[in-house]
Amino acid sequence: MEISVARIRSVPLALALFAAPWGFVVANGAYAWATRAGGGDDIGAEALALASAPRPLLLGLALLRSHVVPLGAAAAVLAWPPLHVIGLVAGSEWFEVAGAVLQAAGLAIVGIRLLNAPR
Question: Quick one: DSSP state of residue 116?
Answer: H
pLDDT digits (tens, 9 = 90+) for 16-68: 677 766 666 666 676 677 667 676 666 666 666 666 667 778 888 888 888 88
pTM, to two decimals = 0.60
Query: Per-domain residue ranges for the chain?
Result: 5-116
pLDDT digits (tens, 9 = 90+) for 61-107: 888 888 888 999 999 999 988 888 788 788 888 888 898 899 989 99
